Chain A
Amino acid sequence: MTGVEGYMYPNEMELQWSILIVLYPFITGLVAGAFILASLERVFLVEAVKPIYRLALLTALAFLIDAPLPLQLHLGHPERSPEMYLTPHPTSAMAMFGYVYLWYLMVVLVFEIWLDYRKDIVIFAQTTKGLKGLIYKFLTMGSYNISPRALAIDNKIGWIITLIGIPSAFFLHGYVGFIFGSIKANPWWSSPLMPVVFIFSAMVSGIAAVMLIYMATCKLRKVAIDVRCVDTIAMYMFYIFIIDFALEMLDLIHRIYESDESFRSLNFMVHTQLYIPHIVIQICLGTVTPLVILFILQVSGKKFAEKVRLRLCTISGALAMIGIFAMRWNVVIGGQLFSKSFLGFTTYKVALVTKEGLIVAVALALLPFLFLWILIKFLPPWEESHHTPAAGD
């Protein structure tokens, strides 16, 4: 039984949305952020981030495949989820999920990755034997045309898709923010800033994730890390992080200054139950600390040795990820800890082995890395393999 303090409506004692629903906006955020990072190279022509272009796309895809799983597991009747596609309710933000997700998965990510890898796929299909070769043959969709002209067309279409992809990424994650921001019954959620905060924090976490994954893969492959690339990523992360932090603080200050009917209750919650996850982890550890490190890197970065710079980037990236996970936690869980009567509070303890417990959550958080590993096996994103395909043709 949960611990209740003060008065809660009797149906509010137990939380409806568990840690899985915390995971869901976190993972979708990584997708959106990773894609935005990829688009830097493609659309905004930032040459320095070229080494992570393909890796960022594959990361986005791996996390996108994982994204609906926590939602699906959380449903009381997962077998009925196709109803979202069959009879989507036009006034429901959640009903949009199915369509935005499919659009993003198929039209943006899969199509763009397919276009970008088509040359490699065709070459692999001609050179690889066995099951793997069959899969490559399937992926070519029967087209072996990799004439320069065909590839030029692919390139142009890919550019357009990336262009469409940027607003799509904003849409994908903005609507996740809207799911929370549009609930007028819940003052902790109800805010027009919510979608914007979600988008910018998503970009920070996605960029940090790709940066960390890039450094980790370099270590695993025993390849030198492209420091210029990491520096550039860190720079973009810094600027977006500043916007994200400013928006979050704006929201906070606005709430404190307006002090509406819910303020007393929410203020108490932030100073007690949410103190550690919100003030300590999200704001101090997960936002201010990485911002300070990134700031130092920006103003005096070149004074540090490359190794130190990489280390500082790793630390700030990891802290940013923790901070943004904490932000999702504080939104989703925090929004359910207080009574809508503003007279009481309940508590949330993560179960360990239930359907929505910690083990499942950790498994779902690790699953994208398995997907990513499989994707990398099939579609190597590395520069060298890009230029000299395996088993020379």
Chain B
Amino acid sequence: MNISRRHMLVLLPAAAVAWESVLAGTPENSPNYNMSEHWWGMLIQIPKCIGCGNCVRACATENDVPDGFFRTWVERYHVTDYNLTEPEVISPNGGKDGFPIVQEDAGKYFYVPKMCNACADSPCTQVCPVGATFVSPDGAVLVDQSYCLGCAYCVQACPYGCRYIHPQKHVADKCTLCYHRITKGLTTACVENCPTGARQLVNLKDPKDPIHAFLKTHTVQVLKPQMATNSKAFYYGLDGSVR
């Protein structure tokens, strides 16, 4: 079973219509989007990731992510077979500029793209004192930056390190699952720019979404399952050493 990018096309029939609104300068009028028909998540296939950093760069460009902060980043794990629980992990500049070349071949290497886990029971939105961050009805964890106090409690509460305080706006900032794109029938910037199809945006409410067939035949895992956040970022081929 292989979900190629072209299958994803089937997923997003609204794209062409939405593009007309984009051309018309009124992208917010995407007429085909209905919140109740979506429950967004992400499928990340570790064996497909080559650590090129395209997703990190695309995310930074699309979302004006400030330097030194990351809505998505890529980690490279090096696990040797005599020490399975103490991996050596690097993520230079979040993997934005790629990774250093490795010559020796001892142990195994793999890349882990990280992003907001789009938790259904998100600990970050639970602690917000004013209701400035929330899980949207279609399953994205969003920040209302015109309402956020910048107390950073949500940053402390995210088990995955996905949030930061925007250095200029002084409010919480994070992956929006490219909410401005997915509501227009487009896919996220990281998915659009992943050359190997290691990331796939999934709509769990769509019975035709290839994720359902994938989940039938593959074992997937979420990050830190002990946190019980009901994460919707599903990892295929995730090693036990990943934190």
Of the residues A10, A97, A335, contact of B70 by C-beta under 8 Å: A10
Q: Are A92 and B129 in contact (CB under 8 A)?
A: yes
Interface 1/0 per residue, A339-377 and B, CB below 8 Å? 111110000000000000000000000000000000000
User: Which residue of chain A has its CB nearest to the CB of B226?
Assistant: A261
Q: Which of A83-91, A119-127, A133-141 lies on the face that meets chain B?
A: A83-91
* B212 located at the interface, meaning its Cβ lies under 8 Å from any Cβ of chain A in the complex: no
Known contacts A77-B171, A83-B149: A92-B162 contact under CB 8 Å: no
Instruction: Kindly state the separation between the CA atoms of A183 and B243 in the bound complex, as whole angstroms.
Output: 17
* A95 located at the interface, meaning its Cβ lies under 8 Å from any Cβ of chain B in the complex: yes
Q: Are A93 and B127 in contact (CB under 8 A)?
A: yes
Of the residues A10, A76, A186, contact of B148 by C-beta under 8 Å: A76
Q: Are B159 and A77 in contact (CB under 8 A)?
A: no
Interface 1/0 per residue, B140-178 and A, CB below 8 Å? 000000011111110111111111110001110000000
User: Which residues of the partner chain A approach B159 to less than 8 Å between Cβ atoms?
Assistant: 184-185, 340
Question: SS class of chain B's interface: helix, strand, loop or mixed?
Answer: loop
* B27 located at the interface, meaning its Cβ lies under 8 Å from any Cβ of chain A in the complex: no
User: Which residue of chain B has its CB nearest to the CB of A78?
Assistant: B149
Q: Are B129 and A343 in contact (CB under 8 A)?
A: no
Q: Are A11 and B69 in contact (CB under 8 A)?
A: yes
* A385 located at the interface, meaning its Cβ lies under 8 Å from any Cβ of chain B in the complex: no
Q: Are A16 and B94 in contact (CB under 8 A)?
A: no
Quote the shortest CB–CB distance from A311 to chain B (angstroms). 42
Of the residues B89, B126, B161, B165, contact of A91 by C-beta under 8 Å: B126
User: Which residue of chain A has its CB nearest to the CB of B70?
Assistant: A10
Of the residues A9, A93, A184, contact of B160 by C-beta under 8 Å: A9
Max count, chain B CB within 10 A of own CB: residue among A71, A75, A84: A75
Q: Are A76 and B161 in contact (CB under 8 A)?
A: no
User: Which residue of chain A has its CB nearest to the CB of B94?
Assistant: A10
Q: Are A185 and B227 in contact (CB under 8 A)?
A: yes
Q: Are A77 and B148 in contact (CB under 8 A)?
A: yes
Q: Are A342 and B243 in contact (CB under 8 A)?
A: yes
Of the residues A10, A13, A16, A97, contact of B129 by C-beta under 8 Å: A97
Q: Are B129 and A11 in contact (CB under 8 A)?
A: no
Q: Are A7 and B91 in contact (CB under 8 A)?
A: yes
Q: Are A341 and B243 in contact (CB under 8 A)?
A: yes
Q: How many residues of A contact B (CB 8 A)?
A: 41
Instruction: Kindly state the separation between the CA atoms of A10 and B147 in the bound complex, as whole angstroms.
Output: 25
- B71-93 contacts to A, CB under 8 A, are 73, 75, 87-91, 93
Instruction: Kindly state the separation between the CA atoms of A88 and B151 in the bound complex, as whole angstroms.
Output: 14
Known contacts A7-B91, A77-B150: A95-B243 contact under CB 8 Å: no
Interface residues on B, range: 35 or more
User: Which residues of the partner chain A approach B150 to less than 8 Å between Cβ atoms?
Assistant: 75-77
Q: Are B160 and A340 in contact (CB under 8 A)?
A: yes
Q: Are B129 and A7 in contact (CB under 8 A)?
A: no
User: Which residue of chain A has its CB nearest to the CB of B114?
Assistant: A9
Quote the shortest CB–CB distance from B140 to chain A (angstroms). 18
User: Which residues of the partner chain A approach B68 to less than 8 Å between Cβ atoms?
Assistant: 10, 13
Q: Are A84 and B130 in contact (CB under 8 A)?
A: yes
User: Which residues of the partner chain A approach B243 to less than 8 Å between Cβ atoms?
Assistant: 340-343
Of the residues A8, A9, A16, A89, contact of B165 by C-beta under 8 Å: A16
Instruction: Kindly state the separation between the CA atoms of A185 and B87 in the bound complex, as whole angstroms.
Output: 20
Interface 1/0 per residue, A8-34 and B, CB below 8 Å? 111111001100000000000000000
* A80 located at the interface, meaning its Cβ lies under 8 Å from any Cβ of chain B in the complex: yes
Instruction: Kindly state the separation between the CA atoms of A13 and B159 in the bound complex, as whole angstroms.
Output: 15
Q: Are A94 and B153 in contact (CB under 8 A)?
A: yes
The 10 A-B residue pairs with the shortest CB-CB distance, nearest first, are A76-B150, A9-B161, A76-B170, A185-B159, A16-B152, A95-B129, A94-B129, A7-B89, A83-B130, A11-B164
B residues lining the A interface (CB < 8 Å): 68-70, 73, 75, 87-91, 93-94, 114, 123, 126-132, 147-153, 155-165, 169-171, 227, 243
A sample of 13 cross-chain residue pairs with beta-carbon separation below 8 angstroms, ordered by A number, consists of A7-B88, A9-B73, A9-B161, A10-B69, A10-B70, A76-B171, A77-B148, A77-B150, A80-B130, A89-B131, A93-B127, A185-B159, A341-B243
Can you add 12 more A-B contacts, CB < 8 Å, to A92-B127, A92-B129?
A: A10-B69, A11-B70, A16-B152, A75-B150, A76-B165, A76-B170, A77-B148, A89-B128, A97-B129, A179-B153, A343-B89, A343-B243
